[in-house]
Amino acid sequence: MLKYAALVLAFLLFTYGSYNVLFVFGDISSPGNPPMAKLYRNVFFHVPINVSAFLGFTAALVASILYLHTRRLRYDLIASSTAKVGLLFTTFTLLTGMVWAKPAWGAYWSWDPRQTSALIMWFVYLSYFTLRNAIPEKERRARASAVLGIFGYASVIFTLLSTRIFPSLHPPTLGLRLEPEMGMVLGLMITAAVIVFFSLVSLEIKIEKLKEAREVR
């Protein structure tokens, strides 16, 4: 019951936020880059998705460390589930970033440091699941996945710092400045995205447990 209530809350928050973004908030002043006057609205969708992606990989990192420390397979299940949902959210992060890039930078893809580092991160976690699928034995798979989940997190850090390390057209990760009302709406939409993230992780864990139960039979 609590799960469904959380999803209803996420829907209401997202609906309220989308209404404000699309119909209440006006254009902003952007003399240096006129398309941004309207395009800034993409921030309210792109950032919550991106935050959820980073949350997924961070949770996978923690669960991987816990697995190596305890050797309990439940932490491997949490690591793989959060990484999978994180990979899904990263895919949408790349897509919404391309929607931003076309009018702002003139091309959907320009190999900007942020775009490139995010794509590298996507491939790192794609390789995480390629590795898992290649190892049938549970303990070996969990151990190898945990090691990659820990070292692969370097790609997350690199993505976060890419706009500060290299000259980039992408705004700095922590450099976003919004009016208080806009900041509140962004916070609500991040909350909605995080609720959806945890709901998908919960669903993925249940699916994997059902698969394991069928294998035992």
> Tell me: the pLDDT tens digits for 186-197?
999 999 999 999
29-38, 79-88, 138-147: the lowest-pLDDT one: 29-38
pLDDT digits (tens, 9 = 90+) for 147-162: 999 999 999 999 999 9
Of 194, 172, 206, 133, nearest in space to 9 by CA: 194
Question: Is 175's pLDDT higher than 90?
Answer: no
Burial class of 144 by CB neighbour count within 10 A (0 to 12, 13 to 18, 19+): middle
Question: Is 145's pLDDT higher than 60?
Answer: yes
* CA–CA gap between residue 132 and residue 60 (Å, rounded): 14
Q: Which domains does the chain have, with CATH numbers?
A: 2-216 (1.20.120)
Question: Is 13's pLDDT higher than 60?
Answer: yes
